[in-house]
Structure 1
Amino acid sequence: MEAARADPAVLERLRERIRTLQAAPRQLLSVLRTGLAPVDGLLPGGGFPLGQVVELGGEPASGRARLAFRAIAEAHRALRLAAWVDGPRALYAPALPPLGVRLEQLLVVQPPEPGQLAWSALQLLRSGAFAAVGLDLTRTDVRLSPPDSRRLVEAATRSGGLLLLLTPPEAPADGTLRLHVSAAGPRAMRVEV
């Protein structure tokens, strides 16, 4: 299978946008809050700690992605970039702006092979350009190996970025902070730390 080639003009526009955002004054962040007081109150420091791997386990449609994107929205409010590695290729971009996500500050990566999901997240974290990186392993049959988990934790720690790892309930990973999210009604969720 031949790899897709990106348009050089598009790449240059992306590079210029990244340079502009990186040059902007930044707020110093130690956590990314969800903006949901009951959830943030459960978390150390009142939010998801930067430089860590936070595992959001649970069923699809439980609210896990909503929590992750609310934290990404806080990174955007602080003029920081975020990335989303979309394993199931199910990201619906029109649902994100109401959560506060700025699409122009979100890089979405959809690797052609499931085996490239963890590698993609690792490269994004190692770049140091992103305050938060989401890695959605839902419906992918991808299970992180212990070496992959260690590399992701190390990259998050070194870069100071947050890895938001969405895992199915049957395949937990080794997040430094683990949350289990379950639906508690049509527009409510239950979060256990």
Structure 2
Amino acid sequence: MNKQPIDNVDPHGQRLAAHEAYWQRFGVHRASRQAELPAMATGSPTLDRQLPGGGYPIGAVTELLCKNAGLGELSLLLHGLARRMREQPKRQLAFIAPPPTLQAPALTQAGIDCARVPLVACRDDSEKVWCVEQMARANAFAGFVVWADHLDTTALRRLQLAAEKAACPVFVYRHIRAAAERSPAALRLAITAGDGGQRIEILKCRGPAGARIAGLQPGVECVWQFETPRAELAALRAGASNDIPQPDRVPHVARSSSSPLGAR
């Protein structure tokens, strides 16, 4: 029996490998190989199992689409970001145009050093994108978290390039109505809430999408919700204080008596 020359064992496989290598130059990969892409753990094993690579993609944009604030949406990031900052103790975490309800105890309780979290105030969404681009050049950040509703495709692509340049994740909070728009983001998560708790739907990812996760309780997942001290609770019951917001009015924001982080 004649043996086939080694060089011609699998010419089809060689052509396929060359074809695949060509497309990888443009960022196109097989869905079955997405686990090889760099990712950071989310802090939720349930969510990690649903995401390609086992977490949020590094060097890419992740969109978190929410109908309104206060759904525990920030808690989905804090645990993962705290771990990443521990792994990179010399890097910072930038918050771009965060909401005024953000509280320093929220970050501290999650294990994030507030001294390493610069907050940047911007006039509009175009300035937010520009800030990320400029800071990405420093190669000194473990991640960026941006609050921006009105971003077009060009702006998101610029954020994607900045994430690749800094080799870190960029998270963007947008209104859920943006789910109907096209986006170059590597990962898009829709966050809603109902009687059963939070509901997360994977709208887009590098691989099969469409997974749904339900049953996460906002009161448990939201790390910046603080228990009202007994003295304040007694005052509330007695009606002696009208300045302290009651927990049911602001269920997912730290009490206003906590000093908020100032913009830097």
User: By the TM > 0.5 criterion, same fold?
Assistant: yes
Could you say what secondary structure the match of 2:122 adopts?
Answer: coil
RMSD between aligned residues: 2.2
CA contact (8 A) 1:184 1:190 kept: yes
Q: 1:111 aligns with which of 115, 122, 128?
A: 122
Could you say what secondary structure the match of 2:137 adopts?
Answer: helix
Q: 1:45 aligns with which of 45, 50, 53?
A: 53
Deviation at 1:110, TM superposition (A): 1.5
- Which runs of 5 or more structure 1 residues have no equivalent in the other structure? 1-29
Instruction: Please state if 1:169 is matched with 2:176.
Output: yes
Deviation at 1:118, TM superposition (A): 2.0
Letter of the 1:40 counterpart? D
Structure-2 separation of matches of 1:113 and 1:147: 15
Instruction: Give the total of aligned pairs.
Output: 160
Seq. identity, %? 29
Letter of the 1:146 counterpart? T
Deviation at 1:185, TM superposition (A): 5.0
State how 1:49-128 maps to structure 2 within 5 Å.
Answer: 49-59=57-67, 60-78=69-87, 79=89, 80-128=91-139
Tell me the residue number matched to 1:159: 166
Structure-2 separation of matches of 1:189 and 1:126: 36
Deviation at 1:125, TM superposition (A): 2.6
CA contact (8 A) 2:136 2:166 kept: yes
CA contact (8 A) 1:126 1:156 kept: no
CA contact (8 A) 2:62 2:170 kept: yes
Instruction: Please state if 1:133 is matched with 2:131.
Output: no
Deviation at 1:47, TM superposition (A): 1.2
Asked which structure has the greater CA Rg, the reply is 2
- Which runs of 5 or more structure 2 residues have no equivalent in the other structure? 1-37, 203-264
Structure-1 separation of matches of 2:43 and 2:110: 10
Instruction: Please state if 1:179 is matched with 2:186.
Output: no
Deviation at 1:97, TM superposition (A): 1.6
Higher relative contact order (CA 8 A, sep 6+): 1
The TM-score with structure 1 as length reference comes to: 0.73
Q: 1:146 aligns with which of 133, 146, 153?
A: 153
Could you say what secondary structure the match of 2:145 adopts?
Answer: strand
CA contact (8 A) 1:128 1:161 kept: no
Deviation at 1:82, TM superposition (A): 1.2
Structure 2 CA distance for partners of 1:65 and 1:174, relative to 1, 3 Å: farther
Structure 2 CA distance for partners of 1:150 and 1:75, relative to 1, 3 Å: same
CA contact (8 A) 1:87 1:114 kept: no
Deviations 1:132-190 (CA, angstroms, capped at 9, x unpaired): 100012xxxx411222111111111122111011111123454211111122458x422
CA contact (8 A) 2:93 2:144 kept: yes
